[in-house]
Amino acid sequence: MKKYLITGCAGFIGSNFVYYMLKKYNDILLVNLDKLTYAGNLENLKGCEGDSRHIFVQGDICDKELVSSLFAQYDFDYVINFAAESHVDRSIANPEIFVQTNVMGTVNLLQRAKEAWYDTEKKSWKEGKKYLQVSTDEVYGALGAEGFFTETTPINPHSPYASSKASADHFVKAFHDTYGMPINITRCSNNYGPYQFPEKLIPLMINNVKHHKQLPVYGDGMQIRDWLYVEDHCKAIDMVANAGKIGEVYNVGGHNERPNIFIVKTIIEQLCNRLQDDGISEALIKHVEDRLGHDRRYGIDPNKIKADLGWYPETPFEVGIVKTIDWYLENEEWMNRVTSGTYQSYYAEMYKNR
């Protein structure tokens, strides 16, 4: 039985990965660690209740004693680290927490894995172990109108969030180069799909459109992102964990580059048609002051993961956005619960005064 420590399991990509793995494999054990901050929601894992292959632990990846005890109890074969503060706007408002979670938390996981997996007497690593860091294309900075990020693109982050993820990546690579730790790093483009917290563009716009609220669009809305359906990303992570060459970085992209304003208008059109609501129109769009240090374009070249592992994005954006909107329409209670309370004050702080 392969045993995994999945951190950040109650968040967006982490919860989708848990469901993907439980659907694909029978003989596994997923020990899922999550601090349950604002974006970590146990309701995201409701479909796992009663499944003996899934064990949830509430806790912080920065907690040395807790992480050490989990390694001692379960002797993990894999660590998949999704746990991160991940929203750029929040990082601009409070960069310190991003350093604490994304950098110090990653280093703690690496240290605890090293203690558990390195045989000091034999001076070698135990067989079949691997640490996988789930990172982001934002560590590369911004692209011009042409070209794509490759795994050899220099690291050049611009936001506090991207800088914290880049620092974490450097530590992961350093543990490989210094100690020989078996690691991989994946760097993905913008994910979308079920269970995404509505601070992110697509669920935010879906929720606002439904309630006839203004749709805040940064600047001219022509920032371009490569959109990756979350299940395709989960498949890539699984393939890298099992077959990725030790020490390698793999870019995971969707070949779905779209400007932000296109995404917003697509959601408006889809919901107008679905709900037959005359109050839904492009008149809801409000262009607001642009984000500080806002990168203009990201685009990923995923040829390495295709060539090495045979992975490719299976979900065109035109299909993925329909599946995503369907999920949010079918899960209104989930959205209502996650947008209550402190979310409202956060939303006001981020957008109402722009």
Active-site annotation holder among 137, 169, 231, 232: 137
- Residue 181's CB is within 10 A of a number of other CB atoms, namely 22
Annotation says 349 is catalytic: no
For 89, 151, 152, 178, 325, the CA distances from 155, given in Å and listed in that order, are: 20, 10, 9, 20, 34
Whether the CB-CB separation of 87 and 161 falls below 8 Å is answered with: yes
Active-site annotation holder among 60, 77, 85, 138: 138
Annotation says 138 is catalytic: yes
The region that residue 152 occupies, defined by phi over 0 for left and psi between -120 and 50 for alpha, beta otherwise, is alpha
Active-site annotation holder among 4, 19, 140, 161: 161
DSSP state of 256: -
Whether the CB-CB separation of 124 and 222 falls below 8 Å is answered with: no
Strands (E) across the chain are located at 2-7, 28-34, 54-58, 78-81, 118-119, 124-125, 130-136, 183-188, 190-192, 215-218, 224-229, 249-252, 257-259, 285-288
Spatial neighbors of 29 by CB under 8 A, at least 6 apart, are 1, 2, 3, 4, 53, 55, 74
Annotation says 289 is catalytic: no
- Which residues have a catalytic role annotated? 137-138, 161
